[in-house]
Amino acid sequence: MAGATTLGDLASAIGARSQEEAAIVAELKAGSETAYAWLIGEFQQPVYGLVYRIVNDPADAADTTQDVFLKVFRGMKHFHGGSSLKTWIYRIALHEAANRRRWWFRHKAKETSIEPAESDGLSPGENAMQVALTDPADSPFDNVAHREVQHRVEEELRKVPEPYRTTLILRDLEDMSYEEIAEVLEISLGTVKSRLTRGRDALRQRLASYVREVGNELGLTAPSQDKRSQVAGGGRRVEVIS
């Protein structure tokens, strides 16, 4: 009976969330300013973070995020609930980010920036991410350590080839379920798991020497010593499976 009660409670919770989302979608389709303000407050930061990890430029990420919400606003009338609202928005975000990245490689990568480098080595976007992701209770050393690890993980993650990189971002940084990732990327659960395995292996290999080098100082465990090690920084964690 306890199991049945638990399953019943879970089903009720899922049903309540579905009803709540349906009500929000109805308000969005009706043009409610309150609903759109909620939508931006709920998804702007996660969408920016997702886009930033793909385009790797704060200005481009900000522009792309605006494009994403324009697409969401204009396309809301065509949203029929075939997937969750979050899944639909993330799918648009990934599409727009991929388009921006392709455009960057065709055009912007040929330009040479004349802007002076930031004095602390962080771009405005990276600094904003650091402020958002760092626990304010951390000591100064912890802040530096988190920043160093986060920067290195992000750097090596950018070198993991697609489509494994996007799958890793959605699972290990965005904490999306396998089912959500499958919906966002429109692939099977088996493909999600396969991409995660290969992506984590690629990231593990890229991070192994770094973890061995600084692991004792920063409290990390080299992937070769455990079946699963967690490389964390700034409140985020990436699980690396060997």
- Model confidence pLDDT, tens digit, residues 119-133: 344 444 444 444 444
The C-alpha atoms of residue 34 and residue 42 are separated, in whole angstroms, by 12
- 116 found inside a domain: no
Given a contact cutoff of 8 angstroms between Cβ atoms, the answer to whether 20 and 62 are in contact is no
Asked whether residue 232 is assigned to any structural domain, the reply reads: yes
Task: Answer yes or no: is 52 within a domain.
Answer: yes
Does 136 share its domain with 217?
A: yes
Q: Give me the chain's average pLDDT, please.
A: 74
Identify the three-state secondary structure at position 25: helix
Q: Is residue 126 part of a domain?
A: no
> Are 238 and 231 within 8 A, CB to CB?
yes
Residue pointed to by tokens 């522009």: 63
Beta bridge partners of 238: 231
How many domains in the chain?
A: 2
Same domain, 166 and 214: yes
Residues 165 and 229 in one domain: yes
User: What is the per-residue DSSP string for 182-195?
Assistant: HHHHT--HHHHHHH
Residue 221 has pLDDT above 60, yes or no: no
Q: What is the pLDDT of residues 43-58, one digit of tens each?
A: 999 999 999 988 888 9
Pairwise CA distance, residues 47 & 220, whole Å: 29
Half-sphere exposure of 127 (CA within 13 A, CB side): 8
In this structure, the answer to whether residues 170 and 205 fall within a common structural domain is yes
How many other CB atoms are there within 10 angstroms of residue 100's CB atom?
A: 20
Domain that holds residue 48: 22-108
Does 87 map to a domain?
Answer: yes
CATH code assigned at 234: 1.10.10.10
Report yes or no on 124 lying in a domain.
no
52 and 145 in a single domain? The answer is no
Q: Which of the listed residues 108, 140, 155 is the one where a domain comes to its end?
A: 108
Share of the chain above pLDDT 70, in %: 62
Alpha helix ranges (H) inside 30-57 = 33-55
- pLDDT, position 73: 92
Residue bearing the bigger pLDDT, 227 or 188: 188
62 and 145, same domain (yes or no): no
| Judgement on whether residues 103 and 138 belong to the same structural domain of the protein | no
Report residue 12 as tokens: 């009720």
Half-sphere exposure of 98 (CA within 13 A, CB side): 11
- Can you tell me the distance from the alpha carbon of 94 to that of 147, in angstroms, rounded to the nearest whole number? 25
Dist. CA 220–CA 114, nearest whole Å? 38
Give the model confidence (pLDDT) of 3-32 as tens digits. Answer: 444 545 544 554 556 778 888 888 998 888
CATH number at 97 reads 1.10.1740.10
231 shares a domain with 140: yes
pLDDT tier at 116, thresholds 50, 70, 90: very low
C-beta separation of 134 from 233 below 8 A: no
Range list of H helices, the chain: 2-29, 33-55, 58-75, 85-106, 124-133, 140-158, 164-168, 178-185, 189-218
pLDDT at 141 over 50: no
pLDDT digits (tens, 9 = 90+) for 156-179: 888 899 999 999 999 988 889 999
Among residues 242, 239, 241, the alpha carbon closest in space to that of 230 is found at: 239
Nearest to 203 by CA among 175, 172, 176: 172
DSSP 115: S
Please report, as a single letter, which amino acid is at residue 58.
P
